[in-house]
Structures are given as structure tokens and as C-alpha cells.
Structure 1
Amino acid sequence: MNPPASPPAAPPRGVSAQLDRFVHDRLPPPEQWPDLHYNRPELQFPPQLNLVEELLDKAPAKGFGQRPLLRSSRVTFSYEEVAERVNRIAQWLTEDMGLVSGNRVLLRGGNSVGMALCWLAVVKAGMVAVATMPLLRARELGDIIDKAQPALALCDATLLAELKYAQQEHPALRTIQKFNAADDPADLGALCAGKSGVFAPCPTAADDIALMAFTSGTTGKPKAAIHTHRDVLAACECWPRHVLCATPDDIVMGSPPLAFTFGLGGMLIFPMWAGASVYYPDIAYTPEAMVRLIGEVGATICYTAPTFYRQMAPFAKAVGIPSLRLCVSAGEGLPDATRTLWREATGIEMIDGIGATEMFHIFISSAGAEVRHGAIGKVVPGYTAKVVNDVGVEVPRGTVGKLAVIGPTGCKYLGDERQTRYVKDGWNYPGDAFVQDADGYFFYQARDDDMIITAGYNVGGPEVEDALLRHPAVAECAVIGVTDDARGMIVKAFCVLKPGFSGDETMVKTLQDHVKATIAPFKYPRQIEFRDTLPRTETGKLQRFKLRTP
């Protein structure tokens, strides 16, 4: 890896258009910020920048105006039709509700045309989008309300109950407006129907705030990561440009929610950047339903998590999905067994990637012929990454260490003491243990706190999980380290078995022997516990910290 070039001078600051300074006033002090590098031609942006204006309003000039953007089983809206509807919502927010730039707007909904329109309208009007996962309950929503202090909530009609419960305990949220309530005169669409559809984008500065993204809670209490208009557009110029390489003819489908930055990028922002379209389902995805819909819709790009690809594989092999050309896996480590299973079922080599809510999206990835067995990939152009020791010194290639990343996006938590844990000396520390090889490929080992040191050996939980998943009886698994008097720690596995297999002592021995025969024997799980399900976030990430808690 070449050392990072000296960062160019900071881009000129624009004039902030956000009248409500709530978020700006709660950003970390400048000395705790990550260094932001804009050292490529495509990463040069003007000081005044509104990302929705760039991606949506300028679409006709790029030749995308009449092309489809948002699809469902009921409607297909072109870029120009989306722009008109977004403008109407923005008019309602400012004219009828009296909201001003910088106000936070809580968004609650699954992936739908209505949810996408609301998100775009909020950001175009210079407000801060605070999207929330559909499965969150009142207590969790209350924590977000307390932290974000939203002026208004836009909520899918099917998800109102929990938000209203939260509002009772957190009256800072004064107004809730429902959307996706067909034929209801109180629906947002009905309220906006009489608007002209003409709305000038808020003249935001590039470093004005576009969104507040709450982390998915794999390690405990979620944090609020802040991203600017420049952050989001800079992300578009990195992984989508250099690795994904989508085209205007692509139709995107996937499972990650728009409230999760993996979903926001993959299922809305990046398709818009490429002039492509995205399909939102009317049903909850199951592995079989997604495979069949990909075929019916003619989708060409799919985003989901490794577990879902594994569950989709038998249906994909049986039904066939000839339109599909790109498959993106992120959200958690991709076991090589899952990559192989999917390739054998579809002929498609998955694009793996690691990103972070704090960084907005993917910063290490490889596609096609660049894929290397067992590796996530190389650092994405625009970013620099290294593997370091506990004091931030880069370790020799082939040595396990902590991942440190720097680029055009970085961590900025809203009023959170954990900022100094994530950003050190300008570098972002996502909390992952990696090995980098001589060719620059990065191999994921574990979360920093998931590395198991047993009898002096380092064991990465994902490597053991991959070995277990290669056994035909194992549907899902998670591996952690547990304390042990003799070895310091031992490897423990939690396994969900496929139907027809019994979780008994014979199966324990079978799986232990299988791991010993697959990887170095000292890595085998000395304890195996069988479960019906594993704890996961709504985005599909394993919550290993819950397995460590009795």
C-alpha cells in the first residue's frame, strides 16, 4: 500500500443555509473530527451543494428525466415525476407545517416509493432526515426522539402504533403525519395533491447536514452518525463509480432498509447517481419471494446480507434468475462457503464489501476478476486503509491488527463521548480486526472485541463460522470466545440446524470433527450450543454481544 498523499487544502466553506443549528451545535469539537481527504478529481465539490438537487433536479440535463426511477407493483415514476412529487412534499413541509432548514424530520417506514419520496423531500428542503428501522419499538423510538429532537415525524400508516406510544412518553415530538394510506383524505399524498410541484432546493452548504443515521446496535446502544450533503455525494464518487459500475439500464432490488445507510445508498442514492431505477416490493421479502420477484421484475442488481443469500441459493438454483448480473453482500462478514454456494447456484461472483454507518457506505471491496478467495477486497479509490497495532502503527503484512481508514467521509457522532474511540489522530477505527496481504487485499478476522485468544493463539470467529457453515446440517451459526481458566478463552459456537437434524451430543462431536478437518484443529469450538434462532439486528447483522450476556 502506498502511503496516503498529503490531503489537499480543505475545500472552501460554503454559507450555511440551515437556520436551526441544533445538529451543528452538537457536532464533535474540530479536534475530534476525522481528517477528510478529497484527493481525486471527482471528489472536488462546490461550496454550495444540495445532494437532491444534484441527483434529482439535474437528472433531465443528464438524459435521465424520462427514465424510470422508483418502481413498485402499482406505479413506476420517472425522474421528472419523482421530482414533482418531492417538490409537493417539500412545499407542504415548509408552507403548511412551517418547518425551516435544519429541523429534524423523523421518517418511519419500510422500503417503499412513499418512504423514498419523503426522504428526498426532507433533504431537498434543507432539513435533516432521521430515518428509523421499521421494527423499532416505542422505547427505542423514544431514545431516538430524545436524541434527535425532531420537529415532525412522517410515518407509514401501517407503523403508527409504536410511534404514537413513543410520542406519549416523549412529547418533544409534537406532530405525526401518516403516508402510504391510500384513499385516506388525511394521507400525506392527499394533503400535497393541490401543491404546484414547484420548489427551489434549499441552497445548502456542502457541509450542511443531510441526515442523522443511527447505528444498528450490534455492540449495544445505538449512536447517531451525522452526514453532510458533501459526504453523501462523495460516497457516490467512490465505491459506486469504481467498483459497482451500475448503468442507467439497471434495476435494483434488495432487502436493506432505507433507514440503514447500506440500504439508503444501495436502494436509493446510488441508483439515482447512475440514472438507474429501484424496485420496492409490496410484500415482506422471504428468500423465495425475493428470487421470484427478481425474475418477474427483471432486476439486475441485488443487495442483501450473506445470511439471506445463503437462504436464497436453493431457490435461485431451482428457478433461475437470468436478469441478475451484480450481487452485493455487506452488513456482516461474507463466509467463503456462502460465496461458493451462491456462485454455484447462479454463476455470479458476489461483490463483498465492508462499510460503516459512520463512513456512510463501503470503503473496502472488489468485484469480478478482482475478487480473491477469502478476502473482502482492496481499498476503494478515494480511501486509504491500513492495519495497525494498539498505538496506531502499521503492522507488517500478514499480521492481525485493527483496521484504520481515512477518506472523503468519516465519523461525526451527535453529542457522543464515543467519538474519541472511533476517531484517533484523524483516522477512523471501525472496530474490525483485519489482515492485509502483500497484494493489498484485506481479510476480515473479527470485530475487535470478537477476536478470541485461546492458549496463545488468535482465532477469528468468522473463520470458524465459515467452517461450520460448510457442514450440511448447519443453517446459521455464531462464534464467540468465553472465559476459561486453563486457556484464557475457548471457542464457543451457537448453531441453528436445518430441519431433520438433531442437536445432540453426537452432532456436537460431528461438527467439532468437521471443523478440525476444515481449518487448524486448535480453532475448533470446544463448546457448541444449539438454538432455534440467533439474535440479529433488523439489517441482518449478528448481535454477538447478546450471546455473551447470560
Structure 2
Amino acid sequence: MKHYEDNFAHNNLPSQDLQPDYIFIDLPQFQRPEMLNCVEKLLDSHIEEGKGNNICLRTFEKTWTYQDLFEKANQIAHVLVEDLGLQSGNRVLIRSANNPMMVACWFAILKAGGIVVATMPLLRSKELTTIIDCAEISHAFCDSDLADEMHLATSKHLKSICYYGNSQLEKLMENKPKTFSNYHSKANSIALIGFTSGTTGLPKMTSHFHKDILNICEAFPKYSLQPTTDDIFIGSPPIGFTFGLGGLVLFPMYFGASSFLLEKPSPDILLQAIQEFKITICFTAPTAWRIITTKVNDFDISSLRKCVSAGETLPLKVWEDWYAATGLKIIDGIGATEMLHIFISSSEANMKPGATGKAITGYEAKIIDQNGNEVATNEPGRLAVRGITGCKYLNRIDKQKDYVEHGWNITGDIFRKDEVGYFWFVARGDDMIISSGYNIAAIEVESVLLSHEEILECAVVGLPDEERGMLVCAHIVLKEKSNATDNMKNHIQQWFKQVAAPYKYPRVIYFTEALPKTETGKIQRFKLKK
């Protein structure tokens, strides 16, 4: 039996022999029926249990109950099927900042049998077009505030763009029924596609099933947070990141809690919301925790009980400074788009400051050498993990073979494991630059720079930085060497922000006569890092 009418995504899954081993799925909390639409547990079940009037989503301006979200998601699902011609299995892009309508669209797509591709609001038209072409996206929802770049994204695959925010979508919703018969998807039907950092050239699409979405809710939040229906979640990561999706949508709704959404989550606004709305659980990156620590004494955050950090390694000093200022322990964690969410973390009961933590319920991890052999205690090596979720790249057999070895997911991180099972971050094992919680692939920054008419060659590396974790640093060879001025550096930086997501721009630029290379012409980035 087919999963969907449009089976593009399932037809491009890696074969079973290339997929990782899935373990712990025989535990009762991870067992799912064959037919499963994750929306029914995350949203519909609250209505069926008479909890529709409970608050679900908040912003500074509005409050939605579970009933509000349920009805709007159902109306949007009707729009998708009846007005926009969605076929089950079609990929639907969402372009939006974190707001309630984005969440309603997210659920509506799954209700209608579509596959969600949520993106970050900073992406430019070129990056959006690449995503649309790679995933053969047929439909898009876009916040009208972000329409400019969406208008410029063109693809033969894209049939319709529907805008919301006192716009087209709301008009189409007006007369639609507030109930909807959900598509009968399978537990192992693809529910979402997450794009890893590279969105130039041929990016990697990692897919996750309906059962994966529910299973991660039984893993990290139960292990580290112990949520209740009274909890109010908040955070800075975009819902387009799986870190943000879990922390701001999946986890609160799985446990019947609520979420406070911020479109522009500056440290001051984050603290203001925590104070005014008595937030209890906060997700953000180490960079933000560092800044928030300097401002926290100006706000009342006594309601806060759990603090979560991910996106980059959490420096011990940030942990210590926050603990000294607040008495709260930041829960560190490492996850991956390929794994959907966090798989190594800690709880307040088993926390060791400076360590990322232990493999959480549903996962196991080990440290291996280049040959796949487990290394000795406290010896650095490659982090390998397996469990209830795993890497399933679409249409990228080469990358799938790189990520999955002998059934284990190889994350690209260098860790060590101590004598009592705690994992300690050592370094990234590739050229990924993690800056302020954003994953930035050096090669994608290079691809943008090389499109500039003045640039002959370039190489991009990450430089350690106390405030941001790492800085994007570009070593550039200009076609006309005499143009190597500070004005040119500024020009390149401003130009970059116009053609690509601004968070990727090179904050440090060095002009050079030539790049160090091997005899075969490969750039020696390790020399530039020094």
C-alpha cells in the first residue's frame, strides 16, 4: 500500500540496508500503531479530552486555546485540499517567523496528508528556490511580512504560494468547516523534511516519520524536563530548526502545556516575556544565555524552573555565571537535524557541569576511531549514536553512507566519554561553523562569495569567539589585488547580507595573495584556522 498519492519523498528514501539501526523501539512508550497521524496525539486528543479551552499558544498580542488552534488548522487543511489542490505526499513549504499561524499551517499540512518543510525567515530567494527544487515543493505558506523574498523564488515545481497575515489565507478560511477528517497516514509515513545547513548547491534533506515526531516527545522532555500541563515554554530558535520545533511546538503540546512565541526573540524581550507571563521552561543557545546572564538582575524570572541549551557547545563559564546569578542549572544537550532532536543531555539530578551529559532514554552512544572501533575512556574520537530516530537523507546515497556506518549515526562531532559515561565535547570534526546557535557550512558561504564579480578565490573557516562561539572568517583572493581595502571588506559584507541569509555573512575578512593548497589543488583550511 502506498503512503501517499505523491510518493516522491518515500521513493527517495535510502534503502533499508543504508539506514541506521533503530533500537529501544520495543519499549512500550515508543510503540506506535501501524496507522498514525501525529496530529491526533499532539492536537486533536486535547479536544477529545475536553481540554479545548486550555491555553495553547501565546504572544504579547494574542492568546490561542487548543480549540482555536484545532479549528484554524482544520480550516487551513480544507483550504489546502479544496482550494489549493494538495495531493497527499506533496511537500509544503512554510516561510514564517515563530507565530501562531505558522503552527496552524504546520498542523494543517499534516492533517491534509502533506509533508512539512518549515524554513527560517532569514533565508533569501536563492536559498528558498534551492530548497523548493530539491524537495520538489508544490505549495507554500508565507507570512505576508516576508513576502518580498518569496515573490522572487521561482521554480517549475511550485504551484501555489498562499500568504497569511490579514491576507489571502484568512479569506479562504472564512467559510471553511472547523472540523476535518485527518489523512490516514502510516506511522512510517514521512511527516517532515528538514534541510541541514547547506542550502546552496545540493543541500541535504533529512526526513522524519510521524512516529519519530511522537517518539522524541517521550525521550528528551521526559528525561530532562518532566513537563506538566502548567508549564509555559519559550525560546529563541526558529520553528524551522528541529531544536525550535521540539521545544516550542512538539514538547509543550504533547504534554498539554502551552508555548509563548516570539517573532524577534532578543534577550530583553525574552526576559520581559518570562517576567510578565511567568514562563517556566526556556530553550535558547549558549550565546543567548551568556547575554541574558548580564541582564537577568533587571527582571523577575522566579517562575523559571528549567533552562535548556543546544545548537552549540555550552561553555562551562556560561553555565557557572548563570548558576551564580540565578541558582538555576542550564541543561546542555546535543542533537542533530538528522536525529530530529537531542539525544545526549542531562537532568538536574545527574548533571555534571561542563559535560554535555549522557545518552538519554531511547538512545545509546559511543566514541569511535576512524576504523569504527570504540576508543579508550577519555580518549577523543568520533561520536556515534543510535536509537529511536536516525538519519534518512532523501536522494543522497553518498551522504547517507558518510553519516551512517554499521548501523550507527556518525554526527561529525569529536567527543570523549569519561569513566562514568558522561560525554564531553572536544571539537567539530568537519568544517561546520557554529555561530550563535546557527549551523553554517563553510562551503555554502564560499559558494555565495564566489558569485561576487570581484572575488577570484576564497576559503572560509571558523574562528573561536568568546561571545558567539565561532565567527565566520573568509580568506579572499581578489581579481584585482589593488582593491584589497577596508572599504572593499565592508562592501562584500553588506552585499552578502543582500544575497544570502545575514547570519551567514563573514564577520572577519582577510585579503590574501594566494590560498594555501595541496599539490592536487585542495585548499588547506587547517592552515587558515591557525
TM-score by length of 2: 0.81
Q: What CA distance in whole angstroms lies between the structure 1 residues aligned with 2:323 and 2:241?
A: 26
Q: Is the 8 A contact 1:225 1:411 kept in 2?
A: yes
- Residue aligning to 1:179: 164
Q: Which moved more, 1:219-228 or 1:34-43?
A: 219-228
Deviation of 1:382 (Å): 0.8
Q: Is the 8 A contact 1:16 1:208 kept in 2?
A: no
Distance 1:441 1:220, change over 3 A: farther
- Residue aligning to 1:300: 280
User: Which of 197, 211, 225 pairs up with 1:216?
Assistant: 197
- Residue aligning to 1:111: 98
Deviation of 1:216 (Å): 2.7
The within-5 A match list for 1:108-187 is 108-167=95-154, 170-180=155-165, 182=166, 184=167, 186=168
Deviation of 1:190 (Å): 2.2
Distance 1:355 1:497, change over 3 A: closer
Q: Which moved more, 1:320-329 or 1:70-79?
A: 70-79
User: Which of 391, 402, 419 pairs up with 2:382?
Assistant: 402
Q: What CA distance in whole angstroms lies between the structure 2 residues aligned with 1:44 and 1:545?
A: 49
The within-5 A match list for 1:54-133 is 54-62=41-49, 64-133=51-120
Q: What CA distance in whole angstroms lies between the structure 1 residues aligned with 2:113 and 2:509?
A: 38
Q: What CA distance in whole angstroms lies between the structure 1 residues aligned with 2:150 and 2:280?
A: 35
Distance 1:544 1:445, change over 3 A: farther
- Residue aligning to 1:278: 259
Deviation of 1:495 (Å): 4.3
Q: What CA distance in whole angstroms lies between the structure 2 residues aligned with 1:236 and 1:404?
A: 22
- Residue aligning to 2:517: none
- Residue aligning to 2:359: 379
Q: Is the 8 A contact 1:16 1:205 kept in 2?
A: no
- Residue aligning to 1:291: 271
- For residues 425-453 of structure 1, the C-alpha deviation after alignment (integer angstroms, 9 at most, x for no partner) is 111011111111111111111111379xx
Aligned residue identity for 2:156: P
Deviation of 1:64 (Å): 3.4
Determine if the alignment matches structure 1 residue 415 to structure 2 residue 395: yes
- Residue aligning to 2:20: 34
Secondary structure at the aligned position of 1:370 is classed as: coil
Distance 1:322 1:31, change over 3 A: same
- Residue aligning to 1:324: 304
Q: What CA distance in whole angstroms lies between the structure 1 residues aligned with 2:343 and 2:327?
A: 25
Q: Is the 8 A contact 1:239 1:362 kept in 2?
A: yes
Secondary structure at the aligned position of 1:391 is classed as: coil
Secondary structure at the aligned position of 1:342 is classed as: helix
- Residue aligning to 2:476: none
Q: Is the 8 A contact 1:89 1:121 kept in 2?
A: yes
Determine if the alignment matches structure 1 residue 18 to structure 2 residue 4: yes
- For residues 365-414 of structure 1, the C-alpha deviation after alignment (integer angstroms, 9 at most, x for no partner) is 00212110210111001111111111111112111111111101000011
User: RMSD between aligned alpha carbons?
Assistant: 3.1
Aligned residue identity for 2:80: L
Q: What CA distance in whole angstroms lies between the structure 1 residues aligned with 2:189 and 2:247?
A: 22
Share of identical aligned residues, percent?
A: 44
Q: What CA distance in whole angstroms lies between the structure 1 residues aligned with 2:412 and 2:504?
A: 15
- For residues 327-369 of structure 1, the C-alpha deviation after alignment (integer angstroms, 9 at most, x for no partner) is 1100110001111111122211001100000000000000212
User: Which of 240, 248, 260 pairs up with 2:221?
Assistant: 240
Deviation of 1:126 (Å): 1.4
User: Which of 378, 401, 413 pairs up with 1:432?
Assistant: 413
Q: Is the 8 A contact 1:236 1:270 kept in 2?
A: yes
- Residue aligning to 2:341: 361
The within-5 A match list for 1:448-467 is 448-449=429-430
Q: What CA distance in whole angstroms lies between the structure 2 residues aligned with 1:303 and 1:492?
A: 25
Q: What CA distance in whole angstroms lies between the structure 1 residues aligned with 2:50 and 2:509?
A: 49
Q: What CA distance in whole angstroms lies between the structure 2 residues aligned with 1:544 and 1:80?
A: 46
Q: Is the 8 A contact 1:219 1:543 kept in 2?
A: no
Distance 1:51 1:544, change over 3 A: farther
Secondary structure at the aligned position of 1:23 is classed as: helix
Distance 1:220 1:407, change over 3 A: farther
Q: What CA distance in whole angstroms lies between the structure 2 residues aligned with 1:175 and 1:137?
A: 18
Q: What CA distance in whole angstroms lies between the structure 2 residues aligned with 1:255 and 1:397?
A: 36
Task: List alignment gaps of at least 5 residues for structure 1.
Answer: 1-14, 452-460, 466-477, 481-490, 499-530
In the alignment of these two chains, the number of paired residues is 462
Distance 1:541 1:239, change over 3 A: farther
- For residues 251-276 of structure 1, the C-alpha deviation after alignment (integer angstroms, 9 at most, x for no partner) is 11111011110011111011111111
Q: What CA distance in whole angstroms lies between the structure 1 residues aligned with 2:305 and 2:254?
A: 19
Distance 1:543 1:148, change over 3 A: farther
Q: What CA distance in whole angstroms lies between the structure 1 residues aligned with 2:33 and 2:502?
A: 34
Q: Is the 8 A contact 1:218 1:545 kept in 2?
A: no
- Residue aligning to 1:194: 175
Deviation of 1:544 (Å): 11
Distance 1:125 1:80, change over 3 A: same
Q: Which moved more, 1:50-59 or 1:70-79?
A: 70-79
Q: What CA distance in whole angstroms lies between the structure 2 residues aligned with 1:78 and 1:450?
A: 44
Q: What CA distance in whole angstroms lies between the structure 1 residues aligned with 2:184 and 2:12?
A: 22
Distance 1:343 1:121, change over 3 A: same
Deviation of 1:161 (Å): 1.0
Q: What CA distance in whole angstroms lies between the structure 1 residues aligned with 2:353 and 2:133?
A: 45
